[in-house]
Structure 1
Amino acid sequence: MSTSEQQQNAPQDMLNVVNFLRSSKAGLKNRVGVLNGKRVDYFKGKSAVKALLSPAYAKTKNTPKVTSEAEAHTLLHSIIPFTFFLRVDRGEPVGSASSPKTLQINQMQLFKPEEYYAWFYEGSQWTNYVGGIAMVAVILAGVMFPLWPPILRLGVWYISLVFMGFVGLLLAISVIRLIFYVITVFAASPGIWIFPRLFADVGFVDSFIPLWEWDLPKKKSKKKKSADKSDKAKNVSSGINTPDNAVDEVDDSGMSAPNSRSGSRAATVEDVPDEIS
């Protein structure tokens, strides 16, 4: 029986699990290897276990529930007979150290988290079909642009003008905000940024909020502050003197003797009389 026939005999819930693992939602780390002279994707077993225990898998429908690593191992082992993926042994690289490594199918097919498994299933292809059709449509539309109706060509021209105007506006704002910042560095230190979040990884509207902001240094994180406080507390408990926390010695009477340690450490020089011969 061929690989495609075995895959067609798989239950629907198993097929849903495989489609999840093959999709980007699973976050499965796929690597590229060479099997029988062809490039194939392969993954490590523990990466698939992690994907089945993720919140993304818990949201899937018509799939077996997985609540522990043992259940994930059992489910992945039950998928192997349908040849969606098979256990492989990884060998040396084909060429240089950075080139794909050679793969060889292992005769003992079972699932172990530390082993590697090669894909023999490409997943759902409808996105590739839609992308290919869209690409062909765009190319045909561009080639047949002279045959477009005058109204459509005029509309495309206006849209291109708006796009180029928007790009030019962003460039103008970037230059103006840089010039204004340089001026304010000398006139009103530490300087003012116009649209400080213009190039931040935020939404379009949030890029222009706030309107301006002082160029102040970033504050230390709370983690660093708490770590500093814990270090200081350890130094105080252990009796170690630090610049911020000085520990004085206390005698039996309850009086502090701050100079007792420094006095004991200071070196003294005494005059010694010459011996009488």
Structure 2
Amino acid sequence: MATTSPSVFYEKEDNLKKLCDFLRTREGPPCREALLLEKRVLYLKGEKLVNFLVEPKKGTKWPKKLPRFENRQDAIAACKDLCTHQYLLRCEKRGKGELGMMRNRDFDESGYFAWIYEGNTTMRHLMTAGLVMGFLCCVCFPIWPTFLKVFVWYMSVSLLLFIFFLITSRAMLFLVVWIVGWECWFLPNLFDESLGFVDSFKPIISVESTKPGQLPYRLGVGLAVGWFCYWAVTQPSEFDGFVKGQGDFLKDLYAGTLLSDMSQEQKENIDKPKMQSLDDLLKSLDKEIEENIQPDDGLDDEDKLDSLLDNLIEDEEDVGEEEE
């Protein structure tokens, strides 16, 4: 394999596909996104592709099964083969984020080329099917059997508690070591959104010295931590009650009885606005009318109504005099 010339090796289509599989990974040359015939594609300039084949960027892990390019002539020949087998398509830039087709399909370092080769799409189809099935399963959650609902609930609560414990333990470890004079983070890149899944767990731990000028803050935090430890030791009954309360909270959380003191109707109407119905308003109005009518012996209903009207007129006259 080492003595095989790259120009001869990449004449075979299978070897050319292996080169494409490598170039389409993260180790390959950087590409940009654009629209070609209303389809989103990745494209790059021919010169950058040739430069990458001859001198890959620092840290690139070139596959051992693929021979390296020693000169630009071999790299250009391989790029021409990519265009011949229609793995790359020559195009032209028509605007920002938009490409157009060209009649000339030959490779040229000054031209732009869009990737047509997609590689093995089996895993992509499986992931799409899994996404659709997962969505359907979530939609059909109300008709799940009881044991599956309980399993999902326990798994969700356990995952939530694990994440909370992980975040709390990382913060406590950093706090204790920071008081001593070092910055220690367990999984420092755990919440870095710019990294991939595997890279988020690298490195496992990082230790650096604290920046100058933090001594007063470290002493203050150290006194606060020491006072809390002293309180936990000298007040065992209160601390034990706090621990017991947390244990009861976890039991209710797993059992799903945190809202057990609420009725089912209250749970269903928890998000509804608290507004009185028309019947309730009429009942409250009748109650106010009954309260305003004074119980006079010997008066019939007409006399009571006249008395109520007289009271209302007097109230309105009093309000008018106050406004004047």
> TM-score under structure 1 normalisation?
0.53
- Partner in structure 1 of residue 107 of structure 2: 110
Q: Report how far residue 204 of structure 1 moved.
A: 8.7
Q: Report how far residue 129 of structure 1 moved.
A: 0.2
- Partner in structure 1 of residue 161 of structure 2: 165
- Partner in structure 2 of residue 138 of structure 1: 134
Counterparts of 1:108 and 1:150 in 2: how far apart (Å)? Answer: 61
- Partner in structure 2 of residue 85 of structure 1: 88
- Structure 1 stretch displaced more, 118-127 or 146-155: 146-155
Q: Does 1:24 align with 2:6?
A: no
Structure 2 unaligned blocks of 5 or more: 1-11, 191-200, 214-324
Amino acid at match of 2:92: D
Counterparts of 1:13 and 1:36 in 2: how far apart (Å)? Answer: 29
The answer to whether the 8 Å contact 2:89/2:105 transfers is: no
Q: Does 1:200 align with 2:188?
A: yes
Deviations 1:46-79 (A, max 9, x none): 33234434454433x4x56533332111111122
Counterparts of 1:41 and 1:174 in 2: how far apart (Å)? Answer: 40
Counterparts of 1:108 and 1:140 in 2: how far apart (Å)? Answer: 45
Q: Does 1:15 align with 2:17?
A: yes
Counterparts of 1:196 and 1:35 in 2: how far apart (Å)? Answer: 48
> TM-score under structure 2 normalisation?
0.46
Which has more helix, going by share of residues?
2
3-state DSSP of counterpart to 1:19: helix
Counterparts of 2:189 and 2:46 in 1: how far apart (Å)? Answer: 34
The answer to whether the 8 Å contact 1:33/1:103 transfers is: no
Q: Report how far residue 173 of structure 1 moved.
A: 4.7
Counterparts of 2:51 and 2:104 in 1: how far apart (Å)? Answer: 25
Deviations 1:212-233 (A, max 9, x none): x863449xxxxxxxxxxxxxxx
Counterparts of 1:156 and 1:108 in 2: how far apart (Å)? Answer: 55
Label 1:38 to 1:199 Cα distance change in 2 as closer, same or farther (>3 A): closer
- Partner in structure 1 of residue 217 of structure 2: none
- Structure 1 stretch displaced more, 144-153 or 159-168: 144-153
- Relative contact order (alpha carbons < 8 A, sep ≥ 6): 1 or 2 greater? 1
Counterparts of 1:115 and 1:128 in 2: how far apart (Å)? Answer: 30
- Partner in structure 2 of residue 43 of structure 1: 44
Q: Percent identity?
A: 22
Aligned Cα root-mean-square deviation (Å): 3.8
Aligned length: 188
3-state DSSP of counterpart to 1:196: strand
Amino acid at match of 2:63: A
Which protein shows a greater Rg? 2
Q: Report how far residue 84 of structure 1 moved.
A: 1.8
The answer to whether the 8 Å contact 1:42/1:119 transfers is: yes
